[in-house]
Amino acid sequence: MTDNILEQLNDSQREAVTYCGGASLVIAGAGSGKTRVLTYKIAYLLGQGFMPWNILALTFTNKAAREMKERIGALVGIEQARRLNMGTFHSVFSRILRTEAQAIGYSPNFTIYDQSDSRSLVKAIIKEMGLDEKVYKHTSVADRISMAKNRLMLPQAYASSRQTVSDDVARKMPAVKDIYLRYCDRCRQANAMDFDDLLVNTFVLFDRNEDIRRKYSERFGYVLVDEYQDTNYAQQAIVTQLTRDHQHICAVGDDAQSIYSFRGANIDNILNFTSSYDGARLFKLEQNYRSTQFIVQAANSLIKHNSRQIPKDTFSRNEQGEKLVLKPAYSDKEEALIVCNDIKRIRREERCEYSDFAILYRTNSQSRSFEECMRKMNIPYHIYGGMSFYQRKEIKDVIAYFRVVVNPDDEEALRRIINYPSRGIGDTTLGRIVAAATLNGVSLWTVICSPVAYGLDVNKGTIGKLGKFRDLVMGWGERANTDDAYTIGRDIISDSGVSCDIYSGRDPEDIARQENLEEFLSGMQDFVESRREEGMEEHVALADFLQEVSLLTDLDSDTEVDSPKVSLMTVHSAKGLEFPTVFIVGLEENIFPSPMCTSSMRELEEERRLLYVAVTRAEKHCILTCAQNRFRYGRMEYDTPSRFLRDFDPSLIRMDNGSPEASFQAHGSAGWKTYESSGSRFVNSKPVATQFKADLKMPHVERLKPASSFGKTVQPTASFTNSSGSSSMVSSHELCEGSMIEHQRFGMGEVLRIEGVGENMKATVNFRNAGTKQLLLKFAKYKVI
């Protein structure tokens, strides 16, 4: 089997895969098979006798981890792949921290604060300390704290560092060090960690507990890291703690794709790898397998304008392909129409799926015009990121309730719900609770539980109200140990009064909130069922659900995509992905480069790398668009094409603005460049609405099936069933290898294998769109067709 696997690699890739003599670093351009090397290396290690649970693979997004697991599953079988330790830094480390929480003074049910929680805590502290909120902007203070943590600088070190202190003074914020200290204390009292703490605390855990460090270093006998260029100092330090004994580390990355310096990633990390690991081997891969020759050459011509980079010579032996196409539009509306029409045309001509297309933009807010157009033109799409579903107010409120039930010390969640819906515990009372808690160095919850003992200065009536609230929370807390997440979650929403509040209004906004809440409950139900179905656990607790949602970052807020859809996302979230056709939209001066990132060469180079990442996602077609007029900030604004357009070798770009004789000039400091023009589909100043009339059908409204309706348990849809319980059950004997089934969530699939008997009967099914999955039949919902 190993030989078979190795045959699917080129010589340099094979060398990198089979080298196990010590630390190794693979530096290579986009699409040259870095992720493939990691995937195959894991398969190779398994072939060499490594146990799957002794391998740790760290990826940048949950989606990347899922994809890698699937690919390894295809090489070595999903049973093996499932046992690997694989995930993002944050998810892997948060699991370790839950297991080892006691060693660093936390309890295992700690809450994970998201960005808005930590910002609101910083804001509260600034207020309490009586600092001027105009000078101490809570977002910039929170950013400074985050930066310090990513450099593993704890409050004491921060306060005694000459550099940070003088920096804070220069920013007129000398008290940041005090805010930082108080912030850490408050997180601890709340038994909460923010995203950065997941790194800092893991580092501290290993640093202060040699036995624990050694245990994990032995457990993770081989560590593999993808997208190494975007790891920050803290992440690298932890990887070093885990690997310095055995030196079994393989990291892959591309300095030209480093796009996270704003979060503390540092290109130097990649350059310093060889000094951290004595005798580390460096591998280079040069052949790009993803893209056509023209796309690779165009991307190279762009990135060579950056001064700081490791020299690489990437080439493609795929077909030459077509040039990049530049399509200037008259307006943002027209830009969307151009893109949508192209999607329809290419899909028709090349008989491909909607999932073969991606629209990449610089910022999330650009998605709106495309969304609108796609709905009109009946094009199914999926937006990754953006205003995450879990950031909406009604959802955050409900999650705050769940958080308090799992961890009543959670200050941010408690503040959010203590008087929502209104129960007569106002700001004054809350202020007094905070004061008593701060004075005694305990959590707000501790004060609420014993108000008299902590000298809480409120009247009898208020004490009574607090007592009622406490009983409510404690009652749920007891049930949370036995009931499944969905059942208790549903009851919390109704018993707390949140449902009454949300279902009282009838205006469109209220309806949207109700729909969101129902969607949320369906999601919970789905989570519980799929955990059971995949045989993970029978009791799916509220804490499991919280763990899942609290790590959904805005890069990752994708749900399973079950039918082919066009992907819309920012370039940042497209890292590591590939699509046959890529549209890079909004290539204008005020968008890409981002106007916030044009003041220094360093920032501009990062923006250029970002565009390099975008171009190199494309396999066959890379289409660039820009609009002359764009509706922004409530009015039409004029914009010029992006300066980066002039960086491309002009012989690799074809201009298509609808007029055969038109030429297009891209602005740039080295003068003007004229691109060759061809095509005749759009005339710049003519709106194109008429030609699309035929395409404008009924809006495509994408709605989740109402799997649950609020306030009552809804049984799974009648036509789908599982093999236990229901009267219309499909007996699992009907099912045999080769059967075709339609699964409620994963769609059509072929049964590859059936194993086990009775309760433990499992089927391995290859789904047309969702890949191969293993289902525990007693929970699976499907029908045989």
Q: Which residues bind to ligand ATP, rule: CB under 6 A?
A: 8-10, 13, 28, 30-36, 254, 257, 289-290, 576, 578, 616
Complex with ligand ATP: residue 70 or 578, whichever CB lies closer: 578
Is 28 labelled a binding residue? yes
Structure-token pair, residue 189 = 């009292």
Catalytic residue chosen out of the listed positions 257, 287, 772, 774: 257
Torsion of Cα atoms, 355 then 356 then 359 then 360, to 10°: 110
**Bridge partners, 358 (sequence order):** 567, 582
Complex with ligand ATP: residue 30 or 339, whichever CB lies closer: 30
**Bridge partners, 677 (sequence order):** 655
Helices of type H across 673-764: 689-692
Complex with ligand ATP: residue 356 or 588, whichever CB lies closer: 356
Binding segment toward Mg ion, per CB under 5 A, in 35-43, 204-212, 606-614, 618-626? 35-43
Give which of Mg ion, ligand ATP, none residue 9 binds (C-beta under 5 to 8 Å, depending on kind). Answer: ligand ATP
Among all chains, which residue has been given the structure tokens 């027209």? 334
Complex with ligand ATP: residue 312 or 531, whichever CB lies closer: 312
Among all chains, which residue has been given the structure tokens 């049973």? 79
For 254, residues 6+ apart whose C-beta sits below 8 A from its C-beta are 27, 28, 29, 30, 34, 229
Query: Positive or negative CA dihedral for 270, 271, 277, 282?
Result: positive
Complex with Mg ion: residue 71 or 177, whichever CB lies closer: 71
Structure-token pair, residue 220 = 């993770």
Structure-token pair, residue 14 = 């094979």
For 442, residues 6+ apart whose C-beta sits below 8 A from its C-beta are 189, 454
Closest contact distance (angstroms) between CB of 18 and ligand ATP is 14
- SS3 at position 331: strand
Is 274 labelled a binding residue? no
For 47, residues 6+ apart whose C-beta sits below 8 A from its C-beta are 1, 2, 5, 76
Per the rule left: phi > 0, alpha: psi between -120 and 50, beta: everything else, 87 is left
- SS3 at position 623: strand
Complex with ligand ATP: residue 9 or 237, whichever CB lies closer: 9
CB 203 within 8 A of CB 237: yes
Give which of Mg ion, ligand ATP, none residue 296 binds (C-beta under 5 to 8 Å, depending on kind). Answer: none
34 a catalytic residue: yes
Closest contact distance (angstroms) between CB of 45 and Mg ion is 19
Complex with ligand ATP: residue 31 or 73, whichever CB lies closer: 31
674 a catalytic residue: no
Per DSSP, which regions of 480-617 are E strands?
A: 566-570, 579-584
Give the residue, chosen from 29, 155, 253, 576, that forms a contact with Mg ion under the rule CB under 5 A.
576
What is each CA distance from 474 to 414, 460, 465, 720, 748, in whole angstroms?
13, 21, 14, 37, 44
Closest contact distance (angstroms) between CB of 475 and ligand ATP is 49
For strand 747-755 and strand 762-767, is the pairing parallel, antiparallel, or unpaired?
antiparallel
Complex with Mg ion: residue 67 or 178, whichever CB lies closer: 67
Give which of Mg ion, ligand ATP, none residue 328 binds (C-beta under 5 to 8 Å, depending on kind). Answer: none
Closest contact distance (angstroms) between CB of 35 and Mg ion is 3
Burial of 757 per CB tally in 10 Å (0-12, 13-18, 19+): exposed
Closest contact distance (angstroms) between CB of 43 and Mg ion is 16
226 a catalytic residue: yes
Closest contact distance (angstroms) between CB of 226 and ligand ATP is 7
Half-sphere exposure of 726 (CA within 13 A, CB side): 20
Closest contact distance (angstroms) between CB of 560 and ligand ATP is 21
CB 714 within 8 A of CB 365: no
Of 56, 42, 40, 29, the residue nearest 283 (C-alpha): 29
Catalytic residue chosen out of the listed positions 117, 168, 196, 227: 227
Is 251 labelled a binding residue? no
Complex with Mg ion: residue 321 or 576, whichever CB lies closer: 576
Of 515, 459, 506, 27, the residue nearest 270 (C-alpha): 27
For 198, residues 6+ apart whose C-beta sits below 8 A from its C-beta are 89, 90, 93, 94, 97, 112
290 a catalytic residue: no
Give which of Mg ion, ligand ATP, none residue 31 binds (C-beta under 5 to 8 Å, depending on kind). Answer: ligand ATP
Closest contact distance (angstroms) between CB of 28 and Mg ion is 9
Q: How far apart are CA 324 and CA 75, in angstroms?
A: 35
Catalytic residue chosen out of the listed positions 149, 188, 376, 617: 617
Contact flag: residue 35 with Mg ion (CB under 5 A): yes
Complex with ligand ATP: residue 142 or 611, whichever CB lies closer: 611
Main-chain dihedrals φ then ψ at residue 569, nearest 5 degrees = -160, 165
- SS3 at position 311: coil
Catalytic residue chosen out of the listed positions 114, 196, 226, 409: 226
Structure-token pair, residue 616 = 């190199």
Is 738 labelled a binding residue? no
Closest contact distance (angstroms) between CB of 44 and ligand ATP is 14
Which residue type occupies 597?
Answer: C
257 a catalytic residue: yes
Of 500, 511, 542, the residue nearest 401 (C-alpha): 542
What is each CA distance from 587 to 332, 344, 618, in whole angstroms?
11, 22, 16
Closest contact distance (angstroms) between CB of 30 and ligand ATP is 4
In angstroms, the first-to-last Cα distance of the chain is 34
Give which of ligand ATP, Mg ion, none residue 254 binds (C-beta under 5 to 8 Å, depending on kind). Answer: ligand ATP
What is each CA distance from 684 to 7, 297, 345, 664, in whole angstroms?
51, 29, 20, 11
Burial state string for 85-98 with b = 16 or more CB within 10 A and e = fewer than 16? bbbbbbbbbbebbe
Give which of ligand ATP, Mg ion, none residue 36 binds (C-beta under 5 to 8 Å, depending on kind). Answer: ligand ATP
CB 480 within 8 A of CB 488: yes
Give the interface size with Mg ion as a residue count (CB under 5 A).
Answer: 3
Q: How far apart are CA 698 and CA 569, in angstroms?
A: 25
Peptide bond into 641 cis (omega under 30): no
705 a catalytic residue: no
Peptide bond into 421 cis (omega under 30): yes
Complex with ligand ATP: residue 89 or 216, whichever CB lies closer: 89
Is 35 labelled a binding residue? yes
Give which of Mg ion, ligand ATP, none residue 386 binds (C-beta under 5 to 8 Å, depending on kind). Answer: none
Of 372, 373, 362, 325, the residue nearest 346 (C-alpha): 325
Closest contact distance (angstroms) between CB of 256 and Mg ion is 13
Annotated binding site: 28-35
Binding residues for ATP: 28-35
**Which residues are at the interface with Mg ion (CB under 5 A)?**
34-35, 576
Q: Which residues are identified as catalytic?
A: 34-35, 226-227, 257, 617
